[in-house]
Chain A
Amino acid sequence: MRPVKPLGVLLLLLGLPTLSWAQTSDHLYRSWRWAFGVTSPRAAGMAGAFVSVAEDSSAGLLNPAGLALAPEAELAASGQVQAGATLEGRDALGRDAGLAFLSASLPVGPRWALGAYESRSRSVRLSLDPRPLADGSVDSGSLEASVAESGLAVAWTATSRLRLGARLGLERLDLEGMSLRTSASGEEELRVTTDGSSDRVSLGVGVLFTPNETWQLGVAARSRATWGLDRRATRPGGGGLEPDRRYRIRSPDAVSAGVTYRPASPLQVVGQLDYVFYREIRSILLVPRGPTSPGDYGIDDGLEVRVGVEVTPFLCEFCVKSHLQLRAGVHFQSAGALAYRGPEASEAEAFPGTRSRRSWAVGASVGGGELAVLWGGERTVWLVGWRLHL
């Protein structure tokens, strides 16, 4: 058999087609970001810097190649509480709680491993702040959306240093939104409703390269789903009923590459770069009507840095008995939101763009329990989970 060349696999991954969200320029989406949460508490505790660690059942989603490193069958479950928050533009994110992540892994012989996962990777309830724009009009409304992924993964140990993995999943989107624009005189100018709910197939591949015990490299690529949504709009003040439109919305695609450095196994330091392909959003942006054009909206690809650290103390009975692990991390998030760059003042107010920001994380494992807290990003998130080895 011809040896597998890691460089070739890497090039293949980088050459995968890239997808991004599409959306409309309806103000309904003015605070929408394309950030996805990492819902495994262990990975989240390291701020998502996990593609080069990926040695437990959560690898099925985050880097399927890592399933081959899990030495035993494992079941994991976690829930999350997302705090409410007021965003930069004063729109509000509602509090949310629920199941976050389910995963399972099973080694099958010395070379193969299987995994399954269910992740609620995005869940938002946005309320638009009815603040007056430059032309005196006011937007109000809400947007509720959730994305849940479930799938199967397989990993193969190609050589003792190289592991390859792939996953096949279904991503479910449920989205419902309504916005209303009223003029300065209080007349209703535009009412937009949109909704959609469907399953789409998504794919992912990953590579883990372990040249020695000190270093481990990981690459993962995600090709996400594209859903169709319906848009209905009326302009009571002028124009009447707009034709119903169908538009696409896609989850963000990203290629992640990470490196894990273990100067000693009680300590691992992880660095990860995520390249998020945002720019295609502009090219497929649906601008239903009005003086603006897609060219007036801008969004740049994001190069996001994640750094995580995990410590495994072992110099006490409690530490060893409880398999205590402590984690921390930081995620430098790119803006990831549309910014209007045209002449319309009110549109510029609606889509000012967002700043890049830092999101911090801490986490711990004690016994089978796991906890992670993330703050500094869109909102504060608590994740609590349990991991069971069979």
Chain B
Amino acid sequence: MTRAARGLAALAVAGLLGRGAWSAVTEPQVFVAFLGDSGSGDTAQKAVARQLDRLRDRLRFAFLLGDNVYYEGRPSRFDEAFLRVYSTLLRDPRGIEFHAALGNHDVKGCRVLTEDELPAPGLDGLPDDHRAYAWDERDCHVESHLREKAFGYVGGKRYYRVSVTAGAGGDGLADVFVLDSNTLSVKDRAFPTRSDGTQTAWLRRELARSSAPWRIVILHHPMQTPVAKGYLGIGGHGPERKLEEELLPILREGRVDAVFAGHNHFYARLRPQYGIRHFVSGGGGIPVYGFKRGSAPVESGGGFHHFVSVRLTPSRFEFCTVDRVGSVRDAGFWDKQGASGDLRHVPSRSLPACSPWNGRPSQPPGLSSRTPTATATNTTH
């Protein structure tokens, strides 16, 4: 047999083996990205966006974890800090959906209504839209945020649910619950108010209704986070204990799998708490800082610009944290069937969520070849 013939034979065998492995698995999948504190409009945000763009042909959802427009959320900066930076993703004909959570800088000039100011007499709690806020002594731009279609505030609501599906009419792979933590029990809010019971009641109700394999909550303020180092008076933020007291029972009862927050300008992945994995992802563009080791049950993290790429299948939650220069900083997966805390780390090159940064094909043998083409987004209030 000539060398060429031997080569052809080897290729044929390899192809057959590959096809077998490929077709054996039919799990649907969807790629989702999470990034927070992005709205600087500067070089770092554009560098992160450039890395995110490398996921464009697979990405279907991008969730912004708040502080989407620094410093005071002005609509005059929407273009510079959001629309232009992600323009290739926003214009992609395959339809990449952005969905945002409100951060404290997005409502910088706002205050929350007092009891006496509630728009509807007898309304038990804050409205779920911009009417929850009023102008402070400065301009309040929350209405502009909620009405900007590209931000994806579904129905113009402050909090909403997004059903993440793999393909048109496909089964839902995840429900993502987007919260407005500014009106919850966070300690750094500029507007003293009672807790937003309407929002927490909505979350409890929606979680109970969810039948998706994965349940993810995103919000701006982190319940679990390490404490920032505080260089040059840049203090960062500690964990929001009262917020945790308020939400944790609901999240446990609703069997939430993961919580993504921002607010602190670094990346941190913490050990699971009551089966819930906490990610702090506040390095989407604004200057970053590090955190003190040992100040929280941190499994991985650091002060670098980044976003988190996530691939979901009905049985697997796979994540890949990528920095602004395209280095994979953290990666792993856990299975739905696995015990709590059963996180597995494998070389990032074997994870499809990391594939654009490894120069590897997006669909290694053994994974679904189904391409998610459309997604359904629902909201129920």
Contact = CB atoms under 8 A, between A and B. Distances in A.
Interface in B224-239: 229, 231-232, 234
Nearest to B49: A71
Contacts of B125: none
Contacts, number: 91
B47 A319 contact: no
Contacts of B42: 312, 320, 323
B194 interface: no
Interface stretch (A91-99, A245-253, A264-272): A264-272
Given A161-B325, A210-B325, A323-B42, A264 B49 contact: no
A56 to B, nearest CB: 8
Contacts of B43: 55-56, 70-72
Interface stretch (B143-151, B196-204, B282-290, B331-339): B282-290
A71 B44 CA distance: 8
Contacts of A110: 50, 54, 326
A319 B71 contact: yes
B305 A317 contact: no
Interface string A289-322: 0000000000000000000000110111101110
Contact of B231 (A160, A264, A316): A264
B31 interface: no
A314 B286 CA distance: 8
Contacts of A321: 71, 77
Nearest to B46: A71
Contact of B234 (A56, A210, A266, A316): A266
A263 B50 contact: no
A314 to B, nearest CB: 5
Contacts of B357: 160
Contact of A263 (B231, B325, B328): B231
Contact of A317 (B71, B286, B302, B325): B71
A212 interface: yes
Contacts of B70: 314, 320
Contact of B304 (A161, A212, A316, A323): A212
Contacts of B366: none
Given A210-B325, A213-B302, A213-B305, A72 B46 contact: yes
A25 interface: no
A107 interface: yes
A24 interface: no
B72 A317 contact: yes
B287 A314 contact: yes
B254 interface: no
Given A213-B304, A213-B305, A317-B72, A69 B288 contact: no
A56 B43 CA distance: 9
B275 interface: no
Nearest to A319: B71
Interface string B319-352: 0000111111000000000000000000000000
B297 interface: no
A263 B232 CA distance: 10
A72 B207 CA distance: 41
Dominant SS among interface residues on chain A: loop
A110 B324 CA distance: 12
Nearest to B53: A110
The interface centre, meaning the residue of A71, A160, A267, A319 with most chain B CB atoms within 10 A of its CB, is A71
B231 A213 contact: no
A264 B327 contact: no
A266 B326 contact: no
A208 to B, nearest CB: 10
Given A71-B46, A213-B288, A267 B232 contact: yes
A157 interface: yes
Interface string A133-168: 000000000000000000000000100110000000
The interface centre, meaning the residue of A157, A311, A315 with most chain B CB atoms within 10 A of its CB, is A315
A86 B72 CA distance: 50
Interface string A211-248: 01110000000000000000000000000000000000
B40 interface: yes
Contacts of A107: 50
B234 A160 contact: no
Interface string A63-97: 00000011110000000000000000000000000
Contact of A265 (B41, B77, B287): B287
Contacts of B234: 264, 266, 315
Contacts of A214: 290, 303
A120 B366 CA distance: 58
A66 to B, nearest CB: 11
A160 B49 contact: no
B40 A266 contact: no
A264 B302 contact: no
Given A71-B49, A161-B327, A264 B287 contact: yes
Given A213-B305, A264-B232, A71 B47 contact: yes
B124 to A, nearest CB: 36
The interface centre, meaning the residue of B42, B286, B325 with most chain A CB atoms within 10 A of its CB, is B325
The interface centre, meaning the residue of A110, A265, A266 with most chain B CB atoms within 10 A of its CB, is A265
A266 B47 contact: no
B364 to A, nearest CB: 19
A55 B50 CA distance: 14
Interface in B18-67: 40-44, 46-47, 49-50, 54
Interface string A255-282: 0000000011111000000000000000
A266 B232 contact: yes
B70 to A, nearest CB: 4
The interface centre, meaning the residue of B71, B74, B231, B302 with most chain A CB atoms within 10 A of its CB, is B71
Contacts of A264: 229, 231-232, 234, 287-290, 303
The interface centre, meaning the residue of B229, B234, B302, B328 with most chain A CB atoms within 10 A of its CB, is B234
A21 B377 CA distance: 69
Interface of A: 55-56, 69-72, 107, 110, 157, 160-161, 210, 212-214, 263-267, 311-312, 314-317, 319-321, 323, 389
11 contacts: A107-B50, A157-B326, A160-B357, A213-B303, A264-B232, A265-B44, A265-B305, A266-B234, A314-B70, A317-B71, A317-B74
Lowest 4 A-B CB distances belong to which pairs? A213-B304, A264-B289, A160-B326, A266-B287
Given A110-B50, A212-B304, A265-B287, 8 more contacts: A69-B325, A71-B47, A161-B325, A210-B327, A263-B289, A264-B232, A264-B234, A321-B77
